[in-house]
Structure 1
Amino acid sequence: MPSQDFASKVTVTLVGTATAIINIDGVNFLTDPAFDPANVEYDVGVAILKRTDELALNLENLPPIDAVLLSHEDHPDNLDTLGRTLLNGRRIFTTMDGAKNLAPRPGVRGLQPWESVSLELCGKPFKITATPCKHLPGGECIGFVIESPSFGTSEDGRPNVVYFSGDTVYTSELAEGLRQRFHTKLAVLSLGGAMAPVGEEPIMITMDGKQGAQLMREIGAELMAPMHFNAWGHFMEKGDALREALAAHPDINARVRWLPPGVPQHLL
């Protein structure tokens, strides 16, 4: 259902993997800060992970960051060594376990799925709601919905929002919860079909293009900005493969806005 009264400007700048700057009326939200150089190896127990591409922006290139949306703090493609240094002195939203593990940083706030917190950043009011994720078994992970009075509402009265998925596969709980509560103007989705070698066979721990298209369709999102689909060996659906997967869903593909690394994209 179309929205009305959206009176904000939203740009998204892809840094790399799941790290992006979501700028809303001059307020900068940073997602999943990972800033280590390429080819650093990480032993995560079940695998050795390594990013092969350099980032589009380094720490010294970042604008002032007003809040960090950290889907989980225990995987290096979402928070690495240099990314952790950026957390000091910041306002951070993350999982309950993440808040404990990042203590004693006073700016960290842990959220349960569907829990909301209201705050003011740079004089602008926001409401942040955590969304459920199904990622690696046994770990906590959340996504985030951002809303503000200047976003207005859809014709049926649901608040217009910007959604960052965090690392998750498609679940009906997620789709139904988003559809019932919000009208999604922009969905920034972590895709790539990441696989984890746990159990007898590897399991998918982030959406691929097919699941991303399904989620978009079911929540009625207006635009999708894909990320988290290059540079790591455990991503099974990288660049061209992801484009082909989304092209198989023409209704959704028409709503996709690709993010050139390091270049702010005015999406709303």
Structure 2
Amino acid sequence: MTEVRITHIGGPTTLIEAAGWRLLTDPTFDPPGRRYSFGWGTSSRKTAGPAVDAAELPPLDAVLLTHDHHADNLDTAGRSLLPTADLVLTTPTGARRLGGNAHGLAPWTTRRLEHPGRPTIEITATPARHGPPFSRPIVGDVTGFALRWEGQRHGALWISGDTVLYDGVREVGRRLDVGTAVLHLGGVRFPVTGPLRYTLTTPRAVDLCRVLRPDTVLPVHYEGWSHFHEGRRTVEAELAKAPADIRTRFRWLPVGSAAQIQV
């Protein structure tokens, strides 16, 4: 059985230490207080800073960047961190914008990380849609990531990225055996677009888990920004209505300290 250390730094940002590899997701290290424009009349204010300073991070083998064009997934300090990693994996459009060490993965394509003395990690891009149908031209491309390596007992470690529930993420459950799911929650919405949602709500996350059947679900990206409408208290209240066999799979990561996850 493989043991993974995951440190939730805040928002979508996690440090994943697995089988000798160090991977960082969606770097956000700016202090709180600033308001960021997301385009098309939408914006959000950062309300909480990172629990770990960027200077405290170990050397990074790779950054897994679900998308580069929204500051709640890549802010100014996070962007300055990218060149320090050996590799940045993101969407093809994001890789073209970033250049340098960024490599784009289209959905269901794979990049292998190899190093002497460590198991090879296969990182597969998975579909994500950051809003309602036909919103992609406005909200841009997003990706999830599935991580697999020799020795896993419970299936892939899957990072959803910012997505709603749609056929693309249901396909993950059909094509992959997911052991641990890192789900971006928060039920994002904006005044200018009314009730439309741009990330998973808790009920939709429960529906997704009926398809995935993961052993462990790790919520992230649910607090720390003003555009989130489902923080931890709301998520917990909604989970209380879910069937016990799904509710008990959810595990809250402590912010700022490493948690041991069996994969």
TM-score (norm 2): 0.91
Shift of 1:47: 2.3
Contact preservation (8 Å) 2:28, 2:50: no
Q: Quick one: which of 182, 188, 202 aligns to 1:194?
A: 188
Gaps of 5+ in 1: 1-6, 155-159
Alpha-carbon distance between aligned partners in 1 of 2:37 and 2:111, rounded to the nearest angstrom: 34
> C-alpha separation between the residues in 1 aligned to 2:115 and 2:91?
21
Q: Which moved more, 1:118-127 or 1:21-30?
A: 118-127
Q: Of 188, 195, 207, which aligns to 2:200?
A: 207
Return the offset for 1:14: 0.4
Deviation at 1:95, TM superposition (A): 0.4
Q: Distance in 2 between matches of 1:88 and 1:251?
A: 42
Aligned to 2:113: 119
Query: Which of the numbers 235, 241, 258 marks the counterpart of 2:252?
Result: 258
* Structure 1 residue 147 corresponds to structure 2 residue 152: no
Q: How does 1:111-260 map to 2 (within 5 A)?
A: 111-121=105-115, 123-136=118-131, 137=135, 138=137, 139-152=140-153, 160-175=155-170, 177-197=171-191, 199=193, 201-249=194-242, 250-260=244-254
Aligned equivalent of 2:68, options 66, 73, 76: 73
Cα 1:44–1:178 shift into 2, 3 Å: closer
Aligned length in residues: 252
Secondary structure at the counterpart of residue 113 of structure 1: coil
| Stretches (4+) displaced over 2 A | 121-124, 196-199
Q: Percent identity?
A: 36
Distance in 2 between residues matched to 1:258 and 1:66, nearest whole Å: 25
Q: CA deviation at 1:89?
A: 4.0
Q: Deviations over 1:90-114 (max 9, x none)?
A: 20110011000001x1x21101111
**Any stretches of 5+ residues in structure 2 without a counterpart?**
none
2:103 and 2:190 map into 1 onto residues whose CA distance is 28
Structure 1 residues 231, 151: closer, same or farther in 2, change over 3 A?
same
Instruction: Tell me the TM-score normalized by structure 1.
Output: 0.89
Tell me if structure 2 keeps the 8 A contact 1:27–1:121.
no
Determine if contact 2:29/2:49 at 8 Å carries over to the other structure. Answer: no
User: Residues 119 and 150 of structure 2 are in contact (CA less than 8 Å); yes or no, is this contact kept in structure 1?
Assistant: no
Q: Deviations over 1:182-235 (max 9, x none)?
A: 211100000010114555x34211101111111112111111000111121111
